[in-house]
């Protein structure tokens, strides 16, 4: 199923008058306050977030999974789904593959599908948290940190294979997330596990092409519940530094203990030029993988405020690999991804409204109240007309959820793929 340009135009006609009215109102207001509205809109239009190949079907939990009909059952269909989201939002121009869930059978064919939908291949993710079919060694007690050299070698080789697959598709980054750790005190020697991980990562790093990055993701718990080897940003940063210049820390919003100050983590990593990537989701309790911005929108805005500051003031930090890492049990996965994209863009737009000079002046005056007024003034602005305009200029729709429903996209997918499809992966 492919959304046609005429369909987009018809959808946009329905909402154009009210869009123009609300954009005029906001633009006038912002222009009077000396904002360059067009510059903000063009930054929004340029901002692209990768969709993970594992988020296109109903994710489920370990207690059950409720299928969403018309789900993609192969990589080609997954990329087609990303194409649908991208044609509506124009902000999802990349897909991030998890290997071995999504090993392409025919590289030329897959690249053609992606190309025709204007989708690029973002970071490739390795998987040493599940045992693979016919694998000699088991990851039950860890992968890159395992006490067995044979297991470590198998896990290293898998990562090198993933780099190879990504290379054929045009990816430029490898994301490593390890489930390695322990469930009970005494099970692991912390130092041995950490050193093994460092040595294994260095072996993988040696196989990284010159223009690639290695992104090291951390997580404090799950599936191991007593300790994880890469428990936090400090552990990730140490490992990245131990590998070299092309290795960076990746922040997944759900991978923190409750009340962690994520915006501060993001800020300091950028200062050190070591923030490489980002996984967006939201959570109430743990790694809940809920829709971005659905639970703590102010926290997402504060994170973006630091990211915007860093993108301007930290040229030592590379361009970031942005990705949504969410999972859906009760929503249509495509609608959920559209909502995440909207929340991410909205936070970005609000962060672009923060008057950095005024904030700096207020900080130098120790005017705490003014600092808060500046941040909250930006946060409380309804920036949605700016997002609409960015989509309109890029050929997307003014209202993606409304258009998705009015075009009966899910019904079309069910007609094409049938009722009993199952998404591979998580």
* Residue 332 interacts with, from ligand LRH, Mn ion, none (CB under 5-8 Å by kind): none
Task: Check binding of 19 to Mn ion (CB under 5 A).
Answer: no
263 binds, among Mn ion, ligand LRH, none (CB under 5 to 8 A by kind): none
CB-CB contact of 404 with 88 (8 Å): yes
CA proximity to 51, closest of 375, 316, 326, 320: 326
CB of 250 vs ligand LRH, minimal distance in Å: 8
Residue 217 binding ligand LRH, by CB under 6 A? yes
Nearer to ligand LRH, 279 or 350 (CB): 279
In whole angstroms, the minimum distance from the beta carbon of 180 to Mn ion comes to 14
**Minimal distance, residue 126 CB to ligand LRH, in Å:** 8
Stretch that binds Mn ion, among 151-159, 305-313, 322-330, 414-422 (CB under 5 A): 322-330
Cα-flanking dihedrals φ and ψ of residue 287, to 5°?
-85, 65
DSSP character at residue 356: H
Q: At what angle do helices 384-394 and 37-46 cross, to 10 degrees?
A: 60
Establish if 252 lies at the interface with ligand LRH (CB under 6 A). Answer: yes
Residues in the chain: 426
Whether cis (ω within 30° of 0) applies to the bond prior to 100 is: yes
| Residue 250 and residue 236 in contact, taking contact as beta carbons nearer than 8 Å | yes
Contact between 279 and ligand LRH by CB under 6 A: the answer reads: yes
Q: Which does 125 bind (CB under 5 to 8 A by kind): Mn ion, ligand LRH, none?
A: ligand LRH
Q: Does 205 bind ligand LRH (CB under 6 A)?
A: no
Number of residues that bind ligand LRH (CB under 6 A): 10
According to the binding rule CB under 5 A, does residue 252 interact with Mn ion? yes
| Cα–Cα distance, 116 to 56 (Å, whole number) | 19
Alpha-carbon distances of 194 from 41, 144, 150, 180, 310, rounded to whole Å = 45, 9, 17, 10, 30
10-19 own/partner pairs: CB under 8 Å, 24+ apart: 11/397, 11/398, 11/399, 11/402, 11/403, 11/406, 11/407, 12/392, 12/397, 12/398, 15/388, 15/398, 15/399, 15/402, 16/398, 19/385, 19/388, 19/389, 19/392, 19/398
Min separation Cβ 51 and ligand LRH, Å: 13
Residues 175-234 that bind Mn ion (CB under 5 A): none
- Residue 342 binds which entry of Mn ion, ligand LRH, none, CB below 5-8 Å type-dependent: none
Q: Which of 53, 125, 224, 421: binder of ligand LRH (CB under 6 A)?
A: 125
| Residue that is written with structure tokens 């997330």 in the block | 177
Smallest CA-to-CA distance from 299 within 218, 379, 219 is with 379
- Considering only residues 287, 332, 342, 346, which one is a binding residue for ligand LRH as defined by CB under 6 A? 287
> Residue 217 or 346: which CB sits closer to ligand LRH?
217
Site string for ligand LRH, 321-340 (x = CB under 6 A): ----x---------------
The nearer residue to Mn ion, 27 or 231, going by C-beta atoms, is: 231
Q: In sequence order, which residues have a C-beta less than 8 Å from that of residue 91 and are 6 or more positions away?
A: 47, 48, 49, 341, 344, 345, 391, 396
The two three-digit tokens of residue 328, written as one number: 């859906």
Is 282 a binding residue for ligand LRH by CB under 6 A? The answer is no
Nearest to 393 by CA among 45, 28, 96: 45
Give the residue, chosen from 177, 194, 205, 304, that forms a contact with ligand LRH under the rule CB under 6 A: 177
* Stretch of residues binding Mn ion (CB under 5 A), selected from 185-193, 197-205, 266-274, 319-327: 319-327
**Residue 139 interacting entry, from Mn ion, ligand LRH, none, C-beta within 5 to 8 Å by type:** none
Q: Does 328 bind Mn ion (CB under 5 A)?
A: no
In contact, 123 and 321? CB cutoff 8 Å: yes
Q: According to the binding rule CB under 6 A, does residue 227 interact with ligand LRH? A: no
The residues that touch ligand LRH, with contacts defined as CB under 6 A, are: 54, 125, 177, 217, 219, 252, 279, 287, 325, 426
The residues that touch Mn ion, with contacts defined as CB under 5 A, are: 252, 279, 287, 325
């Amino acid at each position: 199923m492919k959304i046609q340009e005429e369909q987009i135009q018809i959808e946009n006609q329905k909402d154009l008058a009210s869009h123009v009215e609300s954009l005029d109102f906001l633009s006038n207001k912002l222009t009077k306050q000396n904002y360059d509205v067009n510059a903000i809109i063009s930054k929004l239009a340029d901002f692209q977030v990768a969709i993970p190949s594992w988020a296109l079907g109903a994710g489920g939990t370990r207690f059950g999974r409720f299928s969403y009909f018309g789900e993609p059952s192969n990589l080609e269909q997954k990329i087609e789904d990303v194409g649908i989201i991208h044609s509506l939002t124009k902000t999802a121009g990349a897909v991030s593959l998890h290997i071995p869930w999504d090993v392409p059978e025919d590289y030329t064919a897959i690249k053609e599908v992606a190309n025709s939908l204007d989708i690029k291949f973002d970071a490739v993710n390795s998987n040493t948290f599940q045992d693979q079919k016919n694998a000699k060694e088991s990851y039950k007690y860890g992968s890159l940190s395992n006490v067995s050299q044979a297991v470590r070698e198998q896990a290293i080789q898998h990562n090198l294979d993933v780099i190879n697959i990504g290379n054929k598709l045009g990816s430029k980054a490898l994301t490593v997330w390890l489930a390695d750790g322990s469930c009970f005190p005494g099970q692991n020697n912390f130092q041995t596990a950490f050193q093994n991980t460092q040595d294994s990562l260095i072996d993988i790093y040696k196989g990284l092409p010159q223009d690639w990055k290695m992104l090291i993701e951390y997580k404090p718990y799950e599936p191991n519940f007593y300790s994880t080897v890469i428990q936090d940003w400090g552990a990730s940063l140490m490992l990245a530094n131990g590998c070299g210049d092309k290795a960076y820390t990746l922040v997944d919003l759900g991978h923190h203990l409750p009340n962690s100050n994520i915006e501060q983590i993001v800020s300091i990593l950028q200062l050190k030029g070591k923030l490489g990537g980002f996984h967006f989701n939201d959570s109430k309790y743990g790694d809940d993988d809920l829709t971005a911005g659905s639970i703590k929108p102010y926290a997402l805005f504060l994170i973006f405020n630091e990211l915007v500051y860093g993108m301007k003031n930290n040229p030592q930090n590379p361009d970031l690999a942005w990705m949504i890492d969410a999972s859906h049990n009760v929503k249509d996965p495509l609608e959920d991804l559209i909502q995440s994209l909207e929340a991410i863009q909205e936070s970005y737009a609000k962060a672009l409204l923060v008057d950095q000079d005024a904030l700096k002046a207020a900080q130098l005056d120790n005017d705490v109240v003014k600092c808060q007024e500046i941040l909250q003034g930006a946060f409380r602005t309804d920036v949605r007309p700016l997002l609409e305009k960015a989509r309109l200029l890029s050929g997307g729709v003014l209202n993606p959820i409304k258009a998705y429903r009015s075009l009966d996209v899910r019904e079309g997918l069910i007609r094409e793929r049938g009722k009993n499809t199952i998404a591979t992966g998580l």
